[in-house]
A and B are shown apart, each in its own frame.
Chain A
Amino acid sequence: MKRLKYLFVPGWGRYVPGFIFCLGFAFVGMNLDRLIRTYHDAGVPWATFLWESAQLNYVAILLLGGILIRNTLPVPKVLHAGISIARPVIKPGIIILGVHYVWADVVRVGSVGLALTVVFIFGTAVVVMWLCKKWGVPDGLGGIMGAGTGVCGVSAIIATSPVVKASPLEMAYAIGTVLFFGTLMLFTMPYIGIAIDLSESQFGAWSAIAILNTAQLVAAAEWYGPESRDTAVLINVARIMFLPLVVLFTLWYYVLRTGKQEAGQEISKWQLVKDKFPIFIIGFFLLVLLNSMNIESLGGPGIEGSPFWAMNAVYTWCFAIGFAGIGLSISLDDMKKAGGRAFSIGMVASLVKMILGLGVVLLIGSQLLRVTGI
């Protein structure tokens, strides 16, 4: 009973209006996408311009539209709570996306992704933490920026904060910085990718390396194309699996190594790993496993009339609701909280990951990064 109660936040009713608003906004965004695509297919010039030149699909409509609405119209405060819970609806979408993959994809793309992840996560985290020490940045801010710029943005910052005893102000700076650069890259990278003729799978890998927040990188990859999304999700899953390890590394770097552990403070590393592990990816891997087993009764995304074919129609709507939540929650006022040294550190880390990540995916090429689903 207690576990069931835990699923419901006290006062859950306050989330309903905002969530319904996001559902409505997602409905409008998806229908505008269908309208533009239909007219583009019919050869109407304005639709072709919007669809091909401006890349105005449902992702762009919901993100840009959401930002516009949030920062120009008076969005009633009663909607804010529900808007914040729309964003995580991307997670069931990612789980359902498991039907796109087989273990051969996980091994091939996942191995490359794992290698990229290890290099870029730990490389970034170590370099940022070292730079912070060198620049005299307080351990709290250095620790959370290292974790945040290395792993998964906001989640990593929140996971690491108590370990390094970051102050609320340092957390606000770090989160503001990560969100600012994530948003900047979300809106610039797809156009850069098109300009340099990056393949979809290469873009997917690039976005998974450079963009820190799961929702933002899924948005950028989905914006670019379906192959890009498939690659990005797989590499991102590999990356967020490392969240507990990065928290452990931060604990060692700032506390255990320097002997700053408080007297009587018991740190259970296993409990830390258990608490920080993102359990939703278990669902993703279960669906990959089921798809790989070729179970006749489940079929596959390409087998008309089968359960997996039906599920394949659902994930886009999960993403749409999530993107509606992202767009509507990007407040320019919040991003102004990014400031001071956190901003400089974030800028250096983001630029380095973006440029090095691009170089690496160009070297690796498309083949190793493409999800085939067979």
Chain B
Amino acid sequence: MANPDTSDKQPHLVEDVSEEMFSSEKREDTWALIIALGILLLSVAFPSQIYNFFRNALYLF
């Protein structure tokens, strides 16, 4: 006999998973903004060094 509670739990499981995934999307977006801001500030302070690091220093060839 089907457990009458199971069908009630499924929508909540989907909502909980979606909530968690979407709060993680917001978290990703927040980190993306923080990282971009950090790169902007470093680029304002040390433009040539940042450029040389990402265009030259990181390459072996």
Contact = CB atoms under 8 A, between A and B. Distances in A.
A57 to B, nearest CB: 14
B47 A91 contact: no
A30 B55 CA distance: 11
Interface string A147-185: 000000001001101100111100100000000000000
Given A92-B35, A162-B15, A280-B32, A307 B59 contact: no
Contacts of A309: 47, 51
A351 B54 CA distance: 39
A7 B50 contact: no
Contacts of B58: 27, 30, 317
Interface residues of B, number: 39
Contacts of B30: 7, 279
Given A159-B18, A317-B58, A92 B36 contact: yes
Interface class of chain A by DSSP:
helix
Contacts of A305: 47-48
Interface string B23-56: 1111111111101110110011011101100110
Closest 5 pairs (CB-CB, A-B): A91-B32, A310-B47, A95-B36, A310-B43, A280-B29
Interface of B: 10-11, 13-15, 17-19, 21-33, 35-37, 39-40, 43-44, 46-48, 50-51, 54-55, 58-61
15 contacts: A30-B59, A38-B61, A91-B29, A96-B39, A158-B18, A161-B17, A162-B11, A168-B13, A279-B29, A287-B36, A287-B40, A305-B48, A308-B43, A309-B47, A314-B54
Given A165-B14, A275-B26, 6 more contacts: A38-B61, A91-B32, A92-B35, A158-B22, A167-B10, A283-B37
